Structure 1
Amino acid sequence: MILSVSRRTDIPACHWQWFLNRLDAGFLCVRNPFNPRQISRIDLDPRLVDCMVFWTKNPMNLAASADRLKEYVWYAQVTITGYGSDLEPGVPDKKKVVIPAFQELASRFSAQHVIWRYDPILINDKYSAAYHFHAFGQIARSLKGFTNRVMISFLDLYRKNEKAMRELGIEPVCRAEVVELASGLKEIAAANGMEIFSCAEKLDLTPGGVSAGACVDKRLIEELCGCQLEGNKDKNQRSQCGCLESVDAGIYDTCSMGCRYCYAGQRKKADDSCDVHSPLLQGQIGAGETVSLRKQASLKKEQMTIF
C-alpha cells in the first residue's frame, strides 16, 4: 500500500503532530469524503506501507523530525511558486523558511527524497509568462543539487476556486502559449540539473520537451524500495493522472494555508481544528458510526501479505 499524506490537505505543515501521534499509535482513521459516516481504519505497519508520499508547501516540520520515518520508505513533494501573499497568504517566507527547509531535508537524506512542485501555473496581469520564467529560474538555482526533479501543472478551474480566479483576472492561455512556457521552463530546469514533468495535464506538453509524470511514481518508489511493485493506476484520480494507486490520509477543508487557487477548500472555522489525539484528522468517531478495517496489501513482488 502507498499512503498519500495528503492530496486533500497539508499534513506536514498544518497537522504534523497529529500524524506523529498516529505513527506512535500504529493506525489512523479516514472518513470517506463522499459518505462521511463510512470510516476506514488504516494500519501503519511498515510491512504494509510500501511508501509514504508527502505533499506540502512548508517542509519545516518534516525536516525537523524526519527521523521518525526511519522505518518507512518515503519522499516529499514540496510546492514552491513565485506567488505572493495575494495568492498564498498562509505560506511562510519562501527564501527564509521554505527553501532552507527543502535544502535541509535533501541534505539529510537525498535529492531523490525531495521533489519540487511549481504548480499551479496561472496567468494574469501580475503573474505573466515573463514573471514565471524569472521566478522559476530563481527557485531552480536555489534548489540546484538538492533535487533532480520538478513537476509542473497549469491551473484547472473547479467549483471551489472558480470565483476567486475570476476576481484575480486569471486569463485563459492558448495551447501554443502553454507549450512555449513549458519549453522555457524545461530549459531552465535542465540548466539546473533537473528533469521536468507535467502533472495530470490535459494538454500534451511533449512538443515543449515536458513528459507526463506521476506524483505517486511507481518507478521512483521501486528505486527507493529496491524492489519491483505490483499495482494499478489510481482510478480515483483524473483520467490524465499517471499515479499509482494509493490511500489518502487527509480530509478536505482542513488546510490553513488559504491559497486562493486551491481546489481542496480552506479551513472554515476555529472549531474545525484538528484534535491531535483523535484517530481522525478532524473530529471524533461518533456513536453509531462504523469503523471498518481497510484491506491492505504490500505491493512488493517479494512480499504479498494481505490483512
Structure 2
Amino acid sequence: MILQTGQRTDIPAFYPLWLANRIEEGYVMVRNPYQPLSVTKYLINPDVIDGIAFCSKNPRPFFPYLSVLEPYREYWHMTITLYGRDIEPNVPPYEQVLENFIFLSERIGPKAMTWRYDPIIINETYTFDVHVKRFTEMAERLKGHTDTVIVSFIDLYDKVRRNFPQAIRPPVELQRSLITELVQIAKFNHMTLKTCGEGSVFADVGADSTGCLTKEVYEQAFGVTLSLPTRQPSREECNCYLHGDIGAYDSCAHFCQYCYANTNQANVRQAMKLHNPTSPFLIGHALPQDVVKEANQQSWIVEPKPQQDSFQF
C-alpha cells in the first residue's frame, strides 16, 4: 500500500520527530476525522508499505531524520508559490523552499518530485503578470529537478470563504489566458503542466488533466508496476488515488488563508498543545472508548520496473 502523509496537514514541517518515531517504531494510529473514536492502526514496514507520499510546503525540519526513509520509496509533492505572509503567514520564503526541493531531487531523483504551484489567486498584488514572472523564475530554477508542475485555481470551500472572505475565483477566460502562458513556460523548462481538480477545461491549451496522484504517477516515481485495489475518487473532477493518510485536520500551522484543512487558527493551536512526539497518534493519545481496527495492508507491487537512466531531455 501507499502511505499518505500530506492530505490533512504538513507533517514534515511541524511534526518531523513524530514521523521519524512512527517509522522507527513501525506503526501509527489514525483517528477517523468524521468518527473520532474510530481508530485505524497502520503498520509501517517495507513488506506492506510500497512507498510514502509527502505533500509539504516546508520539508526542511524533517531533513535531520531522512535516514529513516532509506528502506522506503518516496514521492514528494512540494508546494512553492509566490505569496507572502499576507496569504501564507508561516511558509518560508519561496527561495528557501526552492532550495529544499532541489536538495530532495538530488537525493531521490526528479521522477519522484513534483512541483505544485497552487492555488492560483489573482488580485491587485498577485496580478496576471506577476504570476507569469514568478512562475518563469521558479520553473527556470527547478529545470532538471522535476518533469511535472501542477496548478489549480483557488477553490472556495466553506472553510475558505469563512477564513478568506476577500478571495475570488478568477473569470474563466482569465484562467485560460494564464494557463496558456504557464503551459508554454513549463514546456520550455522540460515540464508537463498538469491541472488539479479542474477537469479537462484547459486540455485544448495544452494542460494535462489526467490527475496528480494516479497509478501511473506512483509507478513512475517508485519504479515499480502496481496493482491497486479499486477506489472511488474523492470528488468527480479528481483522478487521484488517495489511501491511508496518517495526518489530522486542524493541525497545520502554516495558516494559509486558502486552507481547506483548518477550521480556524484557535483549533490548530489547541491541537498542537496535545501533540506528543512519542505518541502513536499525531494529536493526543488513546482514549478508553476508542474502537481500534488494524488496516488490511499488503504490498501492491506486481514487479519492479527495469532501471532507467537518470533524467534526460
Settle same-fold status: TM greater than 0.5: yes
Correspondences of 1:18-97 after superposition (within 5 Å): 18-95=18-95, 97=96
How many residue pairs are counted as aligned between the two chains? 300
1:238-297: CA deviations, max 9, x gaps?
Answer: 111111242111010000101000000055254421211111100111112121111112
Check the 8 A contact 1:275/1:281 in 2, yes or no. yes
Q: Percent identity, aligned pairs only?
A: 33
Check the 8 A contact 2:55/2:77 in 1, yes or no. yes
Residue matched to 1:7: 7
5+ residue gaps, structure 2, are 305-313
CA distance 1:154–1:234, change in 2 (3 Å)? farther
Correspondences of 1:267-286 after superposition (within 5 Å): 267=265, 268=267, 270-273=269-272, 274-286=275-287
TM-score of the aligned structures, taking structure 2 as reference length: 0.90
Check the 8 A contact 1:233/1:242 in 2, yes or no. no
Q: Which moved more, 1:156-165 or 1:83-92?
A: 156-165
Check the 8 A contact 2:13/2:56 in 1, yes or no. yes
CA distance 1:122–1:190, change in 2 (3 Å)? same
Q: Which moved more, 1:279-288 or 1:237-246?
A: 237-246
Q: Secondary structure at the residue paired with 2:224?
A: coil
5+ residue gaps, structure 1, are none
Check the 8 A contact 2:20/2:65 in 1, yes or no. no
Q: Secondary structure at the residue paired with 2:31?
A: strand
Residue matched to 1:238: 235
Residue matched to 1:118: 117
1:205 Cα deviation after fit: 1.0
Q: Work out which of the residue numbers 216, 221, 239 in structure 1 matches 2:218.
A: 221
Correspondences of 1:166-245 after superposition (within 5 Å): 166-167=165-166, 170-202=167-199, 204-232=201-229, 234-235=231-232, 237-245=234-242
Determine the C-alpha separation between the residues in 1 that align with 2:159 and 2:103: 34
Determine the C-alpha separation between the residues in 2 that align with 1:109 and 1:297: 24
Q: Which amino acid aligns with 2:208?
A: S
TM-score of the aligned structures, taking structure 1 as reference length: 0.92
Residue matched to 1:145: 144
Determine the C-alpha separation between the residues in 2 that align with 1:75 and 1:220: 9
1:150 Cα deviation after fit: 0.5
Q: Which amino acid aligns with 2:89?
A: P
Q: Secondary structure at the residue paired with 2:292?
A: strand
Q: CA RMSD in A?
A: 1.8
Check the 8 A contact 1:232/1:244 in 2, yes or no. no
Q: Which amino acid aligns with 2:4?
A: S
Determine the C-alpha separation between the residues in 1 that align with 2:168 and 2:241: 32
CA distance 1:12–1:213, change in 2 (3 Å)? farther
Q: Secondary structure at the residue paired with 1:117?
A: strand
CA distance 1:269–1:301, change in 2 (3 Å)? closer
1:35 Cα deviation after fit: 0.4
Q: Which amino acid aligns with 1:71?
A: P
Q: Which amino acid aligns with 1:255?
A: C
Check the 8 A contact 1:229/1:301 in 2, yes or no. yes
Check the 8 A contact 2:3/2:244 in 1, yes or no. yes
1:158 Cα deviation after fit: 0.8
Determine the C-alpha separation between the residues in 2 that align with 1:143 and 1:297: 35
Check the 8 A contact 2:4/2:242 in 1, yes or no. no
Determine the C-alpha separation between the residues in 1 that align with 2:6 and 2:63: 17
Q: Which amino acid aligns with 2:82?
A: G
Q: Which moved more, 1:78-87 or 1:290-299?
A: 290-299
CA distance 1:113–1:36, change in 2 (3 Å)? same
Q: Which moved more, 1:233-242 or 1:39-48?
A: 233-242
Q: Which amino acid aligns with 1:295?
A: N
